[in-house]
Amino acid sequence: MFKGLLSQRLLALAAAGALLFNFPLLALWDRDVLAFGLPLFPAALFIVWALLVLLLALLVEGGDGDQDG
Protein backbone atom coordinates (compact mmCIF):
# COMPACT_ATOMS: atom_id res chain seq x y z
CA MET A 1 0.00 0.00 0.00
CA PHE A 2 2.52 2.62 1.13
CA LYS A 3 5.91 2.49 -0.50
CA GLY A 4 8.93 4.69 -0.63
CA LEU A 5 9.24 8.13 0.84
CA LEU A 6 5.72 8.35 2.29
CA SER A 7 6.16 5.26 4.45
CA GLN A 8 9.49 6.59 5.71
CA ARG A 9 7.88 9.91 6.61
CA LEU A 10 5.01 8.18 8.42
CA LEU A 11 7.46 6.04 10.36
CA ALA A 12 9.48 9.13 11.30
CA LEU A 13 6.29 10.89 12.44
CA ALA A 14 5.32 7.90 14.60
CA ALA A 15 8.80 7.84 16.12
CA ALA A 16 8.66 11.59 16.80
CA GLY A 17 5.27 11.16 18.48
CA ALA A 18 6.59 8.33 20.64
CA LEU A 19 9.56 10.45 21.69
CA LEU A 20 7.52 13.59 22.34
CA PHE A 21 5.02 11.74 24.55
CA ASN A 22 7.68 9.86 26.50
CA PHE A 23 9.03 10.75 29.94
CA PRO A 24 12.21 12.78 29.44
CA LEU A 25 10.71 15.31 27.04
CA LEU A 26 7.29 15.26 28.65
CA ALA A 27 8.80 16.22 32.01
CA LEU A 28 10.01 19.50 30.51
CA TRP A 29 6.42 20.79 30.37
CA ASP A 30 5.45 19.78 33.94
CA ARG A 31 5.67 23.23 35.55
CA ASP A 32 3.29 25.34 37.61
CA VAL A 33 3.03 28.00 34.90
CA LEU A 34 0.06 29.40 33.01
CA ALA A 35 0.19 29.89 29.26
CA PHE A 36 -2.67 32.03 27.91
CA GLY A 37 -4.61 31.32 31.10
CA LEU A 38 -4.21 27.55 30.81
CA PRO A 39 -1.86 25.27 32.73
CA LEU A 40 1.28 24.66 30.67
CA PHE A 41 1.29 20.86 30.79
CA PRO A 42 -2.18 20.17 29.29
CA ALA A 43 -1.77 23.03 26.82
CA ALA A 44 1.57 21.64 25.62
CA LEU A 45 0.12 18.13 25.34
CA PHE A 46 -2.75 19.39 23.23
CA ILE A 47 -0.51 21.51 20.99
CA VAL A 48 1.93 18.65 20.37
CA TRP A 49 -0.96 16.25 19.67
CA ALA A 50 -2.62 18.73 17.30
CA LEU A 51 0.65 19.27 15.42
CA LEU A 52 1.14 15.52 15.04
CA VAL A 53 -2.40 15.12 13.69
CA LEU A 54 -1.90 18.05 11.31
CA LEU A 55 1.38 16.62 10.00
CA LEU A 56 -0.23 13.20 9.59
CA ALA A 57 -3.10 14.69 7.61
CA LEU A 58 -0.70 16.64 5.40
CA LEU A 59 1.35 13.53 4.72
CA VAL A 60 -1.55 11.22 3.98
CA GLU A 61 -3.73 13.64 2.04
CA GLY A 62 -0.95 15.47 0.23
CA GLY A 63 1.23 12.46 -0.40
CA ASP A 64 4.35 12.75 -2.46
CA GLY A 65 3.02 11.60 -5.80
CA ASP A 66 4.61 8.15 -5.85
CA GLN A 67 1.35 6.21 -5.40
CA ASP A 68 -1.13 4.92 -7.92
CA GLY A 69 -4.59 6.42 -7.68
| pLDDT per residue as tens digits for the range 3-57 | 689 899 999 999 999 999 998 888 888 889 998 899 999 999 999 999 999 999 9
pLDDT at 55: 95
> What one-character-per-residue DSSP string does 4-49 give?
THHHHHHHHHHHHHHHHTSHHHHGGG-SS-EETTEEHHHHHHHHHH
Helix, strand or coil for residue 62?
helix
Judge contact between 63 and 6, C-beta under 8 A. yes
pLDDT at residue 4, rounded to an integer: 85
pTM greater than the 0.85 cutoff: no
Q: Using the 8-state DSSP alphabet, how is residue 60 labeled?
A: I
